[in-house]
Amino acid sequence: MTAYDIIMKKRRGGELSEDEIRFMTEGFVKDDIPDYQMSALLMAICFNGMTPSETAALTSAMVNSGDTYSPSAELGRICVDKHSTGGIGDKLTLIAAPICAACGVYIPKMSGRGLGHTGGTIDKLESIPGLKTSLTHSEFISVVKEAGFAVSGQTGTLVPADKKIYALRNATATVDSIPLICSSIMSKKLATGAEGIVIDVKVGDGAFMKNYDDALRLADSMIKVAKLSGRKCSAVLTDMEKPLGMAVGNAVEVIEAAEALKGNAPADLYELSIAISAEMLSLAGKGSPDECTELAKEALSSGRALAALEKMVSLQGGNPEALHDYSLLGVPSDVREVVSETDGYITGISCEKTGLIALSLGAGRQFKNGDIDPTAGIIFNKTVGSYVHKGEVLGKLLTSSKRDMDAAERDFRKLFRISDTSPEKRPAVLKIIRS
């Protein structure tokens, strides 16, 4: 077996065996397979695709390249996880995980940082004073036992093959291959050991998957890999044609999540939070999706979900008072209100450009180890479907860094499409696919 033969087989459209995929993956991690040969294989996969069995084999090889965890064995209860393919204003983990914890389901959540215009859960949580996201394994399990969920940064020993392969994909224009996206996402989820996995597949302008058909193909691929790996999985296709909720940033998204847990969520955020939570609860055996929808609503309305978030924040070293006294999260030194220059209905908000403006204000990092400003971000006063009068405030731009606020204001105004007619309402949940 040689790398040359395997590349040639895939280039000609052949189906690779599990042994061939493992040979290439293990060899690349150990530096026995050079970058140029792995690049050739990735390009062949990009052109010719992979069967579900091939994708599952690649996922398994990536999982086995590093540490794996079995939290259910340590916790004595089924564990469920969720993953988002990335969007703008996505603070769902901060709402859905407490809801599920309040319903008696353990959520051991390993999350990432933001890079570019999409945010990361770890960055959002670290805007809470004192909160630690670098936990030892024993600390992580202890927090889950006591609070019902914990959120920790991913360790460097988790799926090292993905980290190495992704860097190569990024440099060789092979990022948008659905089998490669699927194996990247699912390898991390399978390595963390949850029996049930809910994938939030974002669709639209602010998402990686810009169109519905590609999102559907990705969701189908991930569900097949989960089934072949012996895991339960649901995929929820969700709208990302506009930012989720009314806040984009770090501290501002923590505030919006806290308000959602107090019963003050915008309609789209509420709909999606309940839908994702219900899928997670159903995979954990708490009942049918309809029964779990009612469980999620009750956990939210009763205040039990908010209490779960407060407990998790406290156990991870943060100040839970920051979920009530928002000044503890920091106050931006520069706030710019942007008003409308015309009357009409808001028919669209450019989602990806919203993320880029938040990035320009300091809410994200433009390179891997860059700093972020936790107070920076955007708060919308109006959303799609709202009627706006000339002179009314469209939103606020926030930062504590030295930024070009005039340019940010000009760009922010350009986000909005305004018309004389009201737009057709688009649901937050587009489709749910269950294994």
pLDDT value at residue 166: 86
Count Cα neighbours of 72 within 13 Å in the Cβ-side half-sphere. Answer: 15
Residue 169 is a catalytic residue: yes
Report the sign of the C-alpha dihedral through residues 355, 386, 96, 132, in that order: positive
Q: Which domains does the chain have, with CATH numbers?
A: 3-49 (1.20.970.10), 71-324 (3.40.1030.10), 332-419 (3.90.1170.30)
**E strands, 204-333, where?**
232-239, 247-249
Query: How far is 187 from 191, CA to CA, in rounded Å?
Result: 6
Which is catalytic among the residues 10, 22, 82, 83? 83
Query: How far is 57 from 190, CA to CA, in rounded Å?
Result: 13
pLDDT value at residue 433: 94
Helix (H) or strand (E) holding 398: strand 393-399
pLDDT value at residue 367: 64
Which is catalytic among the residues 184, 221, 273, 340? 184
Predicted TM-score (pTM) of the model is 0.91
pLDDT value at residue 117: 58
pLDDT value at residue 150: 95
Q: Cβ distance 239 to 268 under 8 Å?
A: yes
pLDDT value at residue 59: 96
- Residues 6 or more apart whose CB falls under 8 angstroms from that of 31 comprise none
What are the tens digits of pLDDT across the range 341-397?
999 999 999 999 999 999 999 998 766 567 889 999 999 999 999 999 999 999 999
Which is catalytic among the residues 91, 124, 164, 188? 188
Which residue carries 């077996």 as its tokens? Answer: 1
Which is catalytic among the residues 81, 90, 123, 162? 162
DSSP state of 340: -
What is the bridge-based pairing of β-strands 196-203 and 232-239? parallel
- Residues 6 or more apart whose CB falls under 8 angstroms from that of 431 comprise 216, 236, 237
Burial status of residue 27 (CB atoms within 10 A of its CB: 0-12, 13-18, 19 or more)? middle
Residue 210 is a catalytic residue: no
**E strands, 165-246, where?**
196-203, 232-239
What are the tens digits of pLDDT across the range 116-171?
556 688 999 999 999 999 999 999 999 999 999 999 987 778 899 998 998 898 88
Q: Cβ distance 71 to 141 under 8 Å?
A: yes
pLDDT value at residue 170: 80
Which residue carries 């993956």 as its tokens? Answer: 25
What is the bridge-based pairing of β-strands 247-249 and 232-239? unpaired
Higher-pLDDT residue of 421 and 175 is: 421
Query: How far is 103 from 278, CA to CA, in rounded Å?
Result: 10
Q: Cβ distance 394 to 339 under 8 Å?
A: yes
Report the sign of the C-alpha dihedral through residues 62, 64, 66, 70, in that order: positive
Which is catalytic among the residues 169, 189, 224, 382? 169
Average pLDDT of the chain is 93
Hey, which residues does 202 pair with through a beta bridge? Answer: 238
Q: Report, as an integer, the average pLDDT of 8-29.
A: 96
User: Quick one: pLDDT band at residue 416, thresholds 50, 70, 90?
Assistant: very high
What are the tens digits of pLDDT across the range 86-97?
889 999 999 999
CA distances from residue 133 to 115, 153, 337 in whole angstroms, order as listed = 17, 6, 33
pLDDT value at residue 368: 59
pLDDT value at residue 156: 73
Query: How far is 183 from 408, CA to CA, in rounded Å?
Result: 37
Tokens of 284: 């954990």
Residue 290 is a catalytic residue: no
